[in-house]
């Protein structure tokens, strides 16, 4: 209707102009004016057509960056929006903390060519069928959101699409065959979803993936795809370079037609249920560099890979090949860096020639029947290899001058007097604490800032890059990372982004041998990126556009976190149209100021009425008790702590200093005095006091009182005399903890935490569970402490998206860190780390080794105590049999599962630990002590809801 009116007005103006032409000079002026008006009216039509759907998107996603000024997204340079001829052609809003759904009105942006909404975990719901109306779309990136449901069939209407990435969402159902209509598609990534069913191929009536002749990437890993890999899927017409199907439920044989795809560089079919022999046609893949077929049910002879001279990474582990001598191609593939043939029924001696390859970095041949002499004489003294030959039948060793890492545990050579040799001790780490070198030792940054490679202090954009393919395995070789670092900087600067430098470090092997690499991107000319800059960096990373990416790094995914951006302020803003005159603008600003002042006064009055503590007297005599907590004056607390003297100072934390004090009653208390930079607003502090005053349990440190005067925020807690669990595990306290005492402590801590999650009203997420927040009283009863970081679950329902991740590294839930999605399962992860700390007496991160990985690597469930004797704290077994330890470890490992959905609730954790304590014959007083449920719910209910006698 609007378009009809515009057209009518346009015709009317043109007619009027024509009738005025004969009117001389005056008519000429009128004519010129009407031509100008007509031009603006026609232009406005296009602007309004674009603004209407953008307004719907803005309202749905709750977004209004500061640069989005005015009503026309194509005028004024809206960040993330690009236009051509007043029509929106590109939307790039990666990592903008968007929430909501993708509305069907997106289909109205008919000129859109690029849509990037990646890394917005708050975006969820179904993809609307109207996405198929974006027929000019070339690029669609929805990586790292929370969309679910089926991928719409209408996506097959996007005939111009060349890049489609739906990775890391929750899509389910079948892969739509209509994707086969996307004849221009080059990059297809639907990995890390919940897709089921078979791989669709074409027939006479429907399209299929086999018609994607321009596709170079098939990334389908980590779904629930089933059925066989159709032989029809591959042909000589295809130009695929990456076929990634690992971690699915695929069955049947490997199709011989794979050998027709001459362009293939990387093939991952590992972690499926494929059977049969490896087809000899794979020898035709002359360009292949990566071959992953591990963890299937493959049979027949070990494949002959002699002709694949470009191979750098081979993993055929955990298949049931025919018993075979060591293949000759082990020694002839000169580009080989990584050879993994664990549990493949190999036998005989390893040929000496294998180790003469200067490119070789890793050889894993564990759990075979390799025997005789292991001859390492040909290894260059400058070449450091990892050689894992554990669980074989090696009887002799000739190591020469090699400084390689050798693992020979569970071989005859390690029996008897040789057991103490280094190569007979199980190595525990599969990660590296490598950080690229820096010359910034003299640079002192504030606690929250980081020194860049160029020695400037800033708040970097951070995240983790996960590489699906890498053609190396030596994590400590810095040359790989420096090359990638330079490539990243070049890429960012080619997009004119204000990037000073990039730092990479802490490489580690994640699940399924994917390289995880920590990244920090530092700003140029400022100490932090604003929201627009951060979003632009996320867009570049998600685009997979590294023009100079080193050849030994393949495709990657990313998890990005930018907790300290500080830039850009709120995404909602007040926009005043540019057409408003100066005087009107001043008047508006004045009215706004008056209105704001009135609102503030009204809010202050409302706050004083609604906050129960706000009107209380500073006199302690008149202070009411809040479920046992009382109001102290600052003068009283000065007296109880001898003027906050150093003699009474018992420690400090993120909140501030802690002082020991003695009340007139003789009760000893711990007085926490907030630092200026950690103080909350008045309402937040009083709300926290109210919450803590209602929480009462024998395994939680009780709040005795508080002080809120003279600009101070002070919390007064019960004093717990035996320090924290960390002190006892480290030996600092002088308390030695055997297995029974440790079980008593961890059971108490579990009960306290379960109470916070399941019985507190409202439930509370602690957010900083760690060993030094578990205090021990005189009877070694555990008390969970420090609710300074706690979060009420009532604040935002079950899941809470935080604006800044809080907690302690090493204990921090990786899913919370990556997604900023906070649930009680984040506490469960931290508690699992404490459980591992309890049995090992190791810090969560110690000498670059992460305790979770240390235990994972050492575990062997076929052996007594899961083969963990080398990592257990020696004091744990003093005078005690370690009954139930295996169950305890299983429970701890379930708590530290990467996915929150796989972790137990704390109530379930309590019940399992109670059973373990019974199994370990814990004394009756502890095993029968009150559980976390033995507390009156009345203590937590508002007074109006409490039961009456």
Residue list for the binding site for ATP: 672
The tokens for 248 are 């699915």
Burial grade of 850 (CB within 10 A; 0-12, 13-18, 19 or more): buried
Closest CA to 372 of 355, 395, 390: 395
What is the per-residue burial (b if ≥16 Cβ within 10 Å, else e) of 808-839?
Answer: bebbbbbbbbbbbbbbbbbbbbbbbbbbbbbb
Q: Which of 804, 810, 808, 806 has the alpha carbon at shortest distance from 789? A: 806
Token pair recorded at residue 871: 């990592």
Report the distance separating Cα 45 and Cα 62, nearest Å.
25
Query: Are the CB atoms for 706 and 716 separated by under 8 Å?
Result: yes
Quote the CA–CA distance of 79 and 533 in Å, as a whole number.
Answer: 9
What is the 3-state composition of the chain as percent helix, strand, coil, each rounded to the nearest 5?
A: 35, 20, 45
Q: Is 777 a catalytic residue?
A: no
| C-alpha pair distances (Å), 278 with each of 82, 200, 233, 294, 319 | 50, 23, 17, 12, 11
Annotated binding site: 672
For residue 747, cis peptide bond before it (omega within 30 degrees of 0):
no
Question: From CA 429, how far away is CA 509, in angstroms rounded?
Answer: 10
Contact 743, 922 (CB under 8 A): yes
Q: Which of 899, 893, 901, 935 is nearest to 756 (CA)?
A: 935
Using alpha carbons only, give the angle 795, 801, 806 rounded to the nearest 5 degrees: 90
Query: In angstroms, rounded to a whole number, what is the distance separating the alpha carbons of residues 454 and 522?
Result: 9
Instruction: Please tell me the distance from the alpha carbon of residue 799 to that of residue 819, in angstroms, as a whole number.
Output: 11
Question: What SS3 string covers 639-691?
Answer: HHCCCCCHHHEEEECCCEEEEEEECCCCCEEEEEEECHHHCCCHHHHHHHHHH
And the tokens for 423?
Answer: 């190569």
Rounded to an integer, what distance in angstroms lies between the CA atom of residue 720 and that of residue 702? 10
Burial of residue 64 (CB within 10 Å: 0-12, 13-18, 19+) is middle
462 φ, ψ to 5°? -125, 165
Between the CA atoms of 262, 268, 273 and 275, what dihedral angle is there, to the nearest 10 degrees? 30
SS3 388: strand
User: Which residue has 């002499």 as its token pair?
Assistant: 373
In 3D space, the residue among 333, 336, 270 whose CA is nearest the CA of residue 468 turns out to be 270
- The C-alpha atoms of residue 6 and residue 474 are separated, in whole angstroms, by 67
SS3 333: coil
Residue 147, φ and ψ in degrees, nearest 5: -65, 150
Give Rg (Cα) of the chain: 33
**CA–CA distance, 875 with 873 (Å, rounded to integer):** 5
Residue that has been written with the tokens 């005053």 in this structure: 693
Helix (H) or strand (E) holding 214: none
C-alpha–C-alpha distance, residues 817 and 365, integer Å: 36
DSSP string, 898-932: SSGGGSPPHHHHHHHHHHHHHHTT--HHHHTS--T
- CB count, 10 Å around CB of 948? 3
**Which residues lie closer than 8 Å to 337 by C-beta, 6 or more apart?**
312, 313, 359, 360, 361, 362, 471, 472, 473, 474
Give me the catalytic one of 768, 813, 827, 873.
768
Q: Cα(765)–Cα(498) distance, rounded to whole angstroms? A: 38
Residue positions annotated with a catalytic role: 768
């Amino acid at each position: 209707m609007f378009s009809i009116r515009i057209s009518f007005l346009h015709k009317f103006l043109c007619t009027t102009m024509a009738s005025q032409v004969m009117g001389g000079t005056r008519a000429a002026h009128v004519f010129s004016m009407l031509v100008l008006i007509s031009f603006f009216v026609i232009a406005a039509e296009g602007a309004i057509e674009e603004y209407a759907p953008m307004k719907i998107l803005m309202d749905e996603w709750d977004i209004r960056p500061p640069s989005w000024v005015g009503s026309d997204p194509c005028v004024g340079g809206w960040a993330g929006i690009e236009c051509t001829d007043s029509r929106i052609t590109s939307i790039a809003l990666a990592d903008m903390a968007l929430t909501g759904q993708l509305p069907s009105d997106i289909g109205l942006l008919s000129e859109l060519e690029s849509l990037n909404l990646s890394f917005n975990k708050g975006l969820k719901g179904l993809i609307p069928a109207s996405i198929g109306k974006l027929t000019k779309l070339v690029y669609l990136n929805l990586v790292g959101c929370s969309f679910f449901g089926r991928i719409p069939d209408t996506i097959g209407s996007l005939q111009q699409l060349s890049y489609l990435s739906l990775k890391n969402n929750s899509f389910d159902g079948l892969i739509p065959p209509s994707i086969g209509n996307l004849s221009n598609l080059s990059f297809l990534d639907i990995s890390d979803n919940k897709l089921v069913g078979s791989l669709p191929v074409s027939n006479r009536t429907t399209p299929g993936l086999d018609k994607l002749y321009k596709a170079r990437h098939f990334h389908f890993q980590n779904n629930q795809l089933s059925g066989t890999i159709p032989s029809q899927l591959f042909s000589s017409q295809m130009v695929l370079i990456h076929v990634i199907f690992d971690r699915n439920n695929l069955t049947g044989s490997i199709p011989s037609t794979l050998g027709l795809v001459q362009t293939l560089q990387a093939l991952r079919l590992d972690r499926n249920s494929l059977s049969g022999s490896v087809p000899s046609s794979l020898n035709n893949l002359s360009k292949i560099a990566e071959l992953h077929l591990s963890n299937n049910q493959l049979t027949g002879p070990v494949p002959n890979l002699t002709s694949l001279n470009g191979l750098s990474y081979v993993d055929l582990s955990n298949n049931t090949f025919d018993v075979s001598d060591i293949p000759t191609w082990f020694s002839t593939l000169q580009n080989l860096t990584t050879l993994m043939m664990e549990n493949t029924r190999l036998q005989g001696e390893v040929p000496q020639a294998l180790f003469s390859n200067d490119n070789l970095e890793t050889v894993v041949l564990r759990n075979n029947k390799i025997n005789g002499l292991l001859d390492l004489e040909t290894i260059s003294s400058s070449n450091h290899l990892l050689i894992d030959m554990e669980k074989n039948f090696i009887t002799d060793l000739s190591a020469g001058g090699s400084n390689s890492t050798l693992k020979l545990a569970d071989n005859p050579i390690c029996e008897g007097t040789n057991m103490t040799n280094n190569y007979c001790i199980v190595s525990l780490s599969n990660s590296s604490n490598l950080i690229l070198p820096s010359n910034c030792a003299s640079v002192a940054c504030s606690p929250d800032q980081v020194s860049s490679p160029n020695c400037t202090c800033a708040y970097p954009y951070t995240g983790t890059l996960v590489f699906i393919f890498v053609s190396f395995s030596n994590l400590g070789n810095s040359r790989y990372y420096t090359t990638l670092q330079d490539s990243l900087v070049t890429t960012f600067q080619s997009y004119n982004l204000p990037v000073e430098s990039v730092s990479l470090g802490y490489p580690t092997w994640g699940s399924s041998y994917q390289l995880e690499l920590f990244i920090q991107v530092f700003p140029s000319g400022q100490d932090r990126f604003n929201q627009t800059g951060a979003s632009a960096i996320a867009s570049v990373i998600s685009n997979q556009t590294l023009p100079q990416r080193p050849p030994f790094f393949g495709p990657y995914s990313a998890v990005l976190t930018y907790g300290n951006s500080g830039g850009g302020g709120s995404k909602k803003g007040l926009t005043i149209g540019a057409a408003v005159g100066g005087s009107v603008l001043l008047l508006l600003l004045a009215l706004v100021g008056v209105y704001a002042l009135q609102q503030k006064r009204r809010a202050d009055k409302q706050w004083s009425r609604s906050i129960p503590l706000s009107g209380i007297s500073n006199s302690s005599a008149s202070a009411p008790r809040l479920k046992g907590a009382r109001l102290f004056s600052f003068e009283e607390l000065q007296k109880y702590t001898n003027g906050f003297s150093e003699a009474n100072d018992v420690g400090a934390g993120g909140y501030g200093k802690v002082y020991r004090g003695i009340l007139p009653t003789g009760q000893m208390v711990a007085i926490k005095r907030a630092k200026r930079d950690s103080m909350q607003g008045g309402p937040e502090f009083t709300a926290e006091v109210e919450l803590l005053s209602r929480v009462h349990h024998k395994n939680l440190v009780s709040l005795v009182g508080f002080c809120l005067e003279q600009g101070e925020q002070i919390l007064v807690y019960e004093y717990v005399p035996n320090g924290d669990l960390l002190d006892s595990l480290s030996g600092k306290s002088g308390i030695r903890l055997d297995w029974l005492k440790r079980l008593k402590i961890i059971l108490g801590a579990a009960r306290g935490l379960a109470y916070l999650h399941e019985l507190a009203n409202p439930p509370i997420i602690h957010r900083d569970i760690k060993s030094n927040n578990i205090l021990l009283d005189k009877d070694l009863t555990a008390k969970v402490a420090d609710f300074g970081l706690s979060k009420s679950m009532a604040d935002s329902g079950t899941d809470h998206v935080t604006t800044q991740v809080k907690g302690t590294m090493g204990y921090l839930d990786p899913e919370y860190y990556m997604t900023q999605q906070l649930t009680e399962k984040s506490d469960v992860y931290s508690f699992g780390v404490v459980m591992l700390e309890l049995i090992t007496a190791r810090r969560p991160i110690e000498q670059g080794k992460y305790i979770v990985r240390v235990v994972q690597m050492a575990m062997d469930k076929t052996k007594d105590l899961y083969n963990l004797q080398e990592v257990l704290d020696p004091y744990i077994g003093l005078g005690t049999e370690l009954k139930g330890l295996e169950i305890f470890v299983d429970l701890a490992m379930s708590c530290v599962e990467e996915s929150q959905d796989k972790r137990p609730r704390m109530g379930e954790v309590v019940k399992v630990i109670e059973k373990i304590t019974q199994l370990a014959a814990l004394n009756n007083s502890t095993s029968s002590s009150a559980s976390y449920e033995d507390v009156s719910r009345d203590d937590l209910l508002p007074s109006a809801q409490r039961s009456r006698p």
